[in-house]
Each structure stands twice: as structure tokens, then as C-alpha cells.
């Protein structure tokens, strides 16, 4: 590791990626307010996220009978999702669970009236298991961190050892220790720091001792269906040349006249009250214009600027920024929050959107290139950090000790020790 000072070394816990499980509930009897000839009624479905990360909106499907099972068992859902279990009832409702094909955070499914009119509360959508991306959360925050590896020796001394002790390698282990500032409120622990529960449940923690990870994404591409990236009425060609002589960029093409975009969704709970900067590279495809928007935060809270490359950027309406003058060379954009991020009340996601051309006057031929997105929990942008090339020791461990020292206000210093249970690997 290239160590500049002690604060460059941190301990991280790794959270595995999961797929969202959605429960579709409909009134068992007569979810439609009127049911007469013709014998089929229609509903519209929004936010169907396919396994390739493409979102389908405003899709009409036919329902064959005025019964909840006819809605929740519609073949359209099993075409895009994996069915979990069987159809069940819960009071006045019939429900079925579906697992999303895309890993990570995805928009919540929505079913609304179409050619048929649904009763109020006829359909309820519940998230049983929220989707999550694979992430590394810092748990040391530069206060203290140490890492050690050990190997026991087995005595194999014999008469032929000529009086010398002989040994061979035995059990190997590693240990990571850290200190951090912890809140006393158990309902709101700092990300990844609920060590008492880990100790109680004897559950494994995947820990990483590494250089400071600035980019909270863990992949260096912007490919849909990973790291919270999805496409809305747009097409993507991955494997394009990036600004660093690699092939991690994507070519994004609009497939509708408005709202065609690539977006990355991050959990609101992960961002709330944190410092944040979003940066990315973009260049001309068939158009030298692009639009950006961050959904569920106020545009008054952040500013956008060009770090390098050609073009200019200016506010568009009350919610967007418009980038103009892009050419075939890469331009890097930074969006910096002036204060810790304040997510709109009740919202679970923050969506970072990039549109080819102007968001509401697109054509199916408008396209741009984009690459190397970076989200940093700081208020000013830094150089792009390829998250696949961060040097780190990493392995599974158990929390073997936790101690607390009294602090001030609602905080204290927590010390935790992790003892490895398997091989630790060096990742570069």
C-alpha cells in the first residue's frame, strides 16, 4: 500500500448484494369498482425493472377476472421476476411474492388503473426484502486501525534434529482492530458498526483493511443491473473506450421522446446527513447536449461545474442542469453538495440521472457516452478512483471483543476486534 499517513488506512465491512423481493397484494374479491362486458379489464404497470437493468413504464396488461388472484398471478410479472412461494391470503387480500432479476436497489413496482378502474387501496405493493448493492462501509473513520496475521508452529523435533528444534507451519489466522465514534442510539448506528449484535449472533463479517476508499461504488463500469444502475426507456452498449485507456465506458441511446436516461439509485438512509459529491465523465455521441437531475433532493442544495474538458453547464428549470458544447473528447462534471445531504421526507432512494440531450425533447436517435461515475462522502471532488484497484487485505472474521469508552453528548468511542475465520486475500 502507498501509505501517506495513518489516516489513509481504514477498516471496512462488506455488505453483500441482494435482490429486492416485492409482494403484490390485491383485494381478493372485486378489486375493480366496475366489472361488466368486455370480460377483461386493464391495468398499467410502472417501474418493472428487468434483469438487464432496463425499466419498463406505462405498460398495459389485461386482467381476466375481477379477483385478486387474477392480478397477482398475471404472467407478465413472472416473465420479468422470479416467483417465490405460492399465492397466499392475508385478511381481505390475496398476495404473491416476486424476486427482482436485477441485483441492488431498484424502483418500487407500481400498478395503477388503466382501462379498468381500481378501487381505493385495491392494490398494495410491499417491499419484503430491499435490494442492496455490494458495498464497503468504513468503520474506523481514521481514528485507529491495525491489522496482523499469525501462524502457529507445530513441533516436529526428532532425534535426527541434532539438538535443534524443528517446526512446521500450523494454524494461520489474522486479526483486525479498530476504534470509531459510535452513537448511543441503537436504532441509528453508524453504517456497518452494529458490532454488539454481530458478537451476540456469532455472525461472520467480511472485513477489509485498506487504503482509503473514496468512491462508494465498487465497480468501475456504469452497466445497468449493477451498483444501483438502471436504464429508463434507453439502450446501453457497454465496453466502450474510457478516459483511462480502458473499456469501462457506455454508449447511452434514448428510446423515447422524454425521460430516457441512465440512472444510479442509492439508499436515502446511506446518504442522509452525509457529505456528498457526484462526478462523472461524458462526451458527445449523436448529440453534444446532456441533462442531469438528482431526484428527491433540492437542487438548491448542490451546484454543478465542469472540472475538465469542453462545454458549459447551466441550470435548467428548477430541477435540472443542462450540459452543452460536448465534443468527442471527455468532459468531467462535478456535482457538489454545499451542506450534508437532506433527502425529501419519506423517500427511500436518491436517483442520480443522466439524460442524452434535453430530458423532455429527446428523439430515439439521441446518444451520449459516459464513464467513471464516482460518489464521494465529501464536499469537494477528487481524482477518479477506480474501485476495482484499491489495495486491501480482505477476509471473513468474527467479532471477538467490543468495548466502549465514555464520550460526550450522545457519542462514545467503540473499540472492536475481528479475528479471521478463513484465508485473507490481498486484492489489488
Q: Are residues 324 and 378 in the same domain?
A: yes
The answer to whether residue 188 scores a pLDDT higher than 60 is no
Q: Are residues 101 and 43 in the same domain?
A: yes
Last residue of a domain, which of 129, 146, 175? 129
The answer to whether residue 419 scores a pLDDT higher than 80 is yes
Per the model's pLDDT, the better-predicted residue between 281 and 347 turns out to be 281
Q: Given this model, what pLDDT does residue 301 score? A: 94
Question: Mean pLDDT over residues 49-59, rounded?
Answer: 90
Q: Are residues 239 and 257 in the same domain?
A: yes
Cα 306 from Cα 33, distance rounded (Å): 53
Position 233 in a domain: yes
Q: Are residues 238 and 361 in the same domain?
A: yes
**What range defines the domain where residue 383 resides?**
229-388
Q: Given this model, what pLDDT does residue 9 score? A: 62
The tally of CA atoms less than 13 A away on the side-chain side of residue 322 is: 15
Q: Given this model, what pLDDT does residue 240 score? A: 97
Beta carbons of 96 and 73 less than 8 angstroms apart: yes
The tally of CA atoms less than 13 A away on the side-chain side of residue 409 is: 4
**Cis ω before 352 (30° cut-off from 0):** no
Q: Are residues 302 and 345 in the same domain?
A: yes
Q: Are residues 37 and 152 in the same domain?
A: no
Tens of pLDDT, residue by residue over 119-169, are 999 999 999 998 888 777 777 665 677 888 888 888 888 888 888 888 888
The answer to whether residue 371 scores a pLDDT higher than 50 is yes
Q: Are residues 183 and 304 in the same domain?
A: no
Residue tagged 397466499 (cell numbers): 88
Q: How many domains does the chain have?
A: 3
Q: Give me the residues paired with residue 126 across strands.
A: 23
Q: Given this model, what pLDDT does residue 270 score? A: 85
Q: Are residues 253 and 340 in the same domain?
A: yes
Q: At 198, phi and psi to the nearest 5?
A: -60, -40
Q: At 332, phi and psi to the nearest 5?
A: -105, 130
Position 360 in a domain: yes
Highest mean pLDDT among 1-15, 51-65, 411-425 belongs to: 51-65
The grid coordinates listed for 357 are 440531450
DSSP string over 342-376: -PPTT--EEEEEEEES-TTS--TT-EEEEEEEEEE
Q: Given this model, what pLDDT does residue 410 score? A: 63
Per the model's pLDDT, the better-predicted residue between 427 and 248 turns out to be 248
Cα 56 from Cα 78, distance rounded (Å): 14
Q: Are residues 401 and 417 in the same domain?
A: yes
Q: Given this model, what pLDDT does residue 136 score? A: 79
**Run of H or E including 23:** strand 19-27
CA 106 to chain centre: 9
Instruction: Indicate the length of the chain as a whole number.
Output: 428
Dump strand ranges (E) for 65-143: 82-90, 93-103, 110-113, 123-129, 135-138
Position 218 in a domain: no
The grid coordinates listed for 338 are 454545499
In three-state secondary structure terms, 407 is coil
Position 370 in a domain: yes
Q: Given this model, what pLDDT does residue 38 score? A: 67
Cα 113 from Cα 116, distance rounded (Å): 6
Last residue of a domain, which of 88, 108, 129? 129
Nearest to 410 by CA among 198, 195, 188, 177: 188
Q: Is 141 exposed, middle or buried (0-12, 13-18, 19+ CB in 10 A)?
A: middle
Tens of pLDDT, residue by residue over 404-416, are 777 666 667 778 8
Question: Mean pLDDT over residues 40-44, rounded?
Answer: 90
The answer to whether residue 117 scores a pLDDT higher than 80 is yes
In three-state secondary structure terms, 241 is coil
In three-state secondary structure terms, 14 is strand
pLDDT band at 2 (very low <50, low <70, confident <90, very high): very low
Cα 161 from Cα 215, distance rounded (Å): 54
Last residue of a domain, which of 129, 148, 175? 129
Q: Are residues 378 and 252 in the same domain?
A: yes
- For 102, left (φ over 0), alpha (ψ -120 to 50), or beta? beta
DSSP 198: H
The answer to whether residue 1 scores a pLDDT higher than 50 is no
Q: Are residues 251 and 325 in the same domain?
A: yes
| Other CB atoms within 10 Å distance of the CB of residue 2 | 6
Position 223 in a domain: no
User: In this structure, what CATH number is given to the domain that contains residue 163?
Assistant: 2.40.30
pLDDT band at 3 (very low <50, low <70, confident <90, very high): very low
Q: Are residues 64 and 75 in the same domain?
A: yes
Q: What is the dihedral of CA 180, 186, 191, 192, to 10 degrees?
A: 80
Nearest to 405 by CA among 146, 143, 13: 143
Tens of pLDDT, residue by residue over 221-242, are 999 988 889 999 999 999 999 9
Position 85 in a domain: yes
Beta carbons of 101 and 80 less than 8 angstroms apart: yes
**CA-based R_g, the chain, Å:** 26
Position 45 in a domain: yes
Q: Given this model, what pLDDT does residue 30 score? A: 94
Position 122 in a domain: yes
Residue tagged 398499467 (cell numbers): 44
Per the model's pLDDT, the better-predicted residue between 380 and 402 turns out to be 380
pLDDT band at 6 (very low <50, low <70, confident <90, very high): very low
User: In this structure, what CATH number is given to the domain that contains residue 376?
Assistant: 2.60.120
Percent of the chain residues topping a pLDDT of 70: 92
Amino acid at each position: 500500500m502507498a501509505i501517506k499517513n495513518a489516516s489513509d488506512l481504514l477498516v471496512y465491512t462488506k455488505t453483500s448484494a441482494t435482490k429486492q423481493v416485492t409482494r403484490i397484494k390485491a383485494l381478493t374479491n372485486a378489486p375493480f369498482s366496475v366489472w361488466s362486458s368486455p370480460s377483461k379489464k386493464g391495468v398499467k404497470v410502472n417501474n418493472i425493472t428487468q434483469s438487464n437493468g432496463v425499466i419498463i413504464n406505462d405498460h398495459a396488461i389485461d386482467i381476466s377476472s375481477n379477483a385478486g388472484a387474477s392480478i397477482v398471478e398475471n404472467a407478465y410479472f413472472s416473465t420479468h421476476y422470479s416467483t417465490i412461494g405460492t399465492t397466499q391470503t392475508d385478511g381481505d387480500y390475496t398476495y404473491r411474492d416476486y424476486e427482482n432479476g436485477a441485483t441492488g436497489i431498484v424502483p418500487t413496482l407500481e400498478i395503477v388503473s388503466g382501462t379498468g378502474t381500481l378501487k381505493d387501496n385495491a392494490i398494495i405493493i410491499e417491499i419484503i426484502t430491499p435490494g442492496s448493492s455490494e458495498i464497503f462501509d468504513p468503520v474506523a473513520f481514521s481514528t485507529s486501525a491495525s491489522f496482523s496475521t499469525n501462524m502457529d508452529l507445530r513441533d516436529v523435533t526428532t532425534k535426527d534434529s541434532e539438538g535443534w528444534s524443528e517446526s512446521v507451519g500450523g494454524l494461520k489466522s489474522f486479526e483486525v482492530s479498530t476504534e470509531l465514534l459510535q452513537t448511543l442510539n441503537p436504532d441509528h448506528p453508524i453504517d456497518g458498526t452494529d458490532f454488539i449484535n454481530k458478537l451476540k449472533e456469532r455472525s461472520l463479517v467480511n472485513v477489509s483493511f485498506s487504503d482509503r476508499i473514496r468512491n462508494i461504488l465498487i465497480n468501475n463500469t456504469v452497466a445497468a443491473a449493477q451498483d444501483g444502475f438502471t436504464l429508463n426507456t434507453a439502450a446501453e452498449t457497454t465496453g466502450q473506450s474510457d478516459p483511462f485507456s480502458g473499456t469501462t465506458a457506455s454508449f447511452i441511446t434514448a428510446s423515447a421522446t422524454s425521460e430516457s436516461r441512465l440512472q444510479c439509485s442509492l439508499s436515502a438512509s446511506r446518504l442522509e446527513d452525509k457529505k456528498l459529491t457526484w462526478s462523472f465523465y461524458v462526451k458527445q455521441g449523436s448529440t453534444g447536449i446532456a441533462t442531469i437531475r438528482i431526484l428527491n433532493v433540492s437542487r438548491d442544495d448542490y451546484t454543478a461545474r465542469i472540472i475538465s474538458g469542453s462545454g458549459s453547464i447551466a441550470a435548467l428549470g428548477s430541477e435540472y442542469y443542462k450540459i452543452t458544447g460536448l465534443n468527442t473528447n471527455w468532459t468531467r462534471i462535478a456535482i457538489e453538495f454545499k451542506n450534508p445531504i437532506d433527502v425529501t421526507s419519506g423517500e427511500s432512494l436518491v436517483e442520480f440521472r443522466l439524460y442524452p440531450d434535453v430530458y423532455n425533447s429527446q428523439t430515439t436517435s439521441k446518444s451520449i457516452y459516459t464513464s467513471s461515475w464516482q460518489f464521494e462522502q465529501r464536499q469537494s471532488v477528487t481524482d477518479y478512483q477506480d474501485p476495482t484497484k484499491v489495495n486491501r487485505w480482505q477476509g471473513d472474521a468474527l467479532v471477538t471483543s467490543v468495548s466502549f469508552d465514555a464520550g460526550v453528548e450522545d457519542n462514545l468511542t467503540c473499540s472492536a476486534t475481528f479475528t479471521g475465520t478463513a484465508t485473507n486475500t490481498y486484492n489489488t
